[in-house]
Amino acid sequence: MVGFLLKHIAYGMAVLFAVTSLVFGLIHLSGDPLAALVPPGSSPEQAARLRTHFGLDRSLPVQYATFLGNAVHGDFGESWRARRPAMATVLDRLPATLVLTGAAIALALAIGVPLGIAAGSRPGGAVDLAATALALAGQAVPGFWLGTILILIFAVRWHWLPSSGGEGAQAVVLPAVTLALYPAATIARLLRSSLIEALSGEYVRTARGKGLSPWAVVRGHALRNAALPTLAFVGLQVGFLLGGAVVVEGVFAYPGVGQLALQSVANRDLPVVQAFVVVVATLIVVVGFAVDAIARWVDPRLRTADSGTGSGW
């Protein structure tokens, strides 16, 4: 257990160091950071004063060393637009995104797991064909199109749910459904394939020979092994939803970190962009650790060696 913890702590630190270095380098490779801050027609003296104020007049290695030193303490400077600490700006928006991500994952599991079990338990049947068709449709529908259609139906025509904003539980419903469709479809397909493979194993034939019911065989023997690929996908999908739901948050004007990141990139508010990337990377590291821990609990074979490769990384 100690080796397991130490390995993941070392991985997490290495990932965060690589992410902070990468975001710093890419930002400075994308052009002059002050391009969107200097008003049109400003004199060179005004531009120089702004460059000095934000520390951009120093050499790149000095800027990088200063950036890393401050990042260790969670200090990414002041937002160039909001004129407040960049980390505080990101953390203010983080709870809304966590609520949206949690709701989307819960909904995806509530839809995908029953569909996958029903399809995998009786492959080739009517339920399997229906579940496969729904899963394919879920993977084919673009999120921005689905979000727009849901707004037109449930907000504009029927007035059941708000079309934008993030106040109240009702405001989470439409963006959560939009985000949940693709992972629900993938979970159903993964679980179906894994369950079909697991049900062909010798231990399943032995369980059936003992007279166990079909559901007891699935629940007690096959499902535990079939769940591991799905568990790994869910861990990856949580990371994607935390940092990659920019389009959906933009469609619904949802006040999460995704929309904040989109606005910050458009405004070239680099301290906020850097803080956003590091916060999301930290959350992904934590989710990866949790997925590995759950996988070790589900499959005892993973506990035999702490040096084994984690399933959630």
Structure tokens at 146: 């689905």
Any domain includes 28: no
Q: DSSP letters of 243-283?
A: HHTHHHHHHTT--SHHHHHHHHHHHT-HHHHHHHHHHHHHH
The CATH number assigned to the domain holding 119 equals 1.10.3720.10
Any domain includes 251: yes
pLDDT in tens, 201-231: 776 677 667 767 666 777 666 777 777 788 8
pLDDT by residue, tens only, the chain of 313 residues: 677 677 878 888 888 888 888 888 887 777 777 766 676 667 777 778 877 877 777 878 888 888 888 888 888 888 887 788 999 999 998 898 899 999 999 999 999 888 888 888 888 788 888 888 888 888 888 888 888 899 999 989 998 988 887 677 888 899 999 999 889 988 988 888 888 888 777 766 776 677 676 667 776 667 777 777 888 888 888 877 876 677 888 888 888 888 888 888 877 788 888 898 888 888 888 888 888 887 777 766 665 645 444 444 4
Any domain includes 311: no
Any domain includes 35: no
One-letter amino acid for residue 59 of the chain = S
Any domain includes 100: yes
| pLDDT in the model for residue 244 | 61
Q: How far, in whole angstroms, is CA 186 from its chain's centroid?
A: 15
Any domain includes 259: yes
Collect all residues with Cβ–Cβ distance below 8 Å to 31 and sequence separation of at least 6.
none
Neighbours of 298 (CB within 10 A): 16
| pLDDT in the model for residue 221 | 65
Boundaries of domain holding 241:
94-267
Any domain includes 107: yes
Helices (H), strands (E): how many in the chain?
13, 0
Structure tokens at 259: 């929309």
Tell me the C-alpha distance between 262 and 144, whole Å.
Answer: 15
Distances in whole angstroms, Cα of residue 115 to Cα of each of 101, 132, 196, 237: 21, 9, 13, 18
Distances in whole angstroms, Cα of residue 209 to Cα of each of 117, 162, 202, 203, 220: 21, 55, 11, 10, 14
The answer to whether residues 181 and 141 touch, using CB atoms and an 8 Å cutoff, is yes
Any domain includes 72: no
Report how many domains make up the chain. Answer: 1
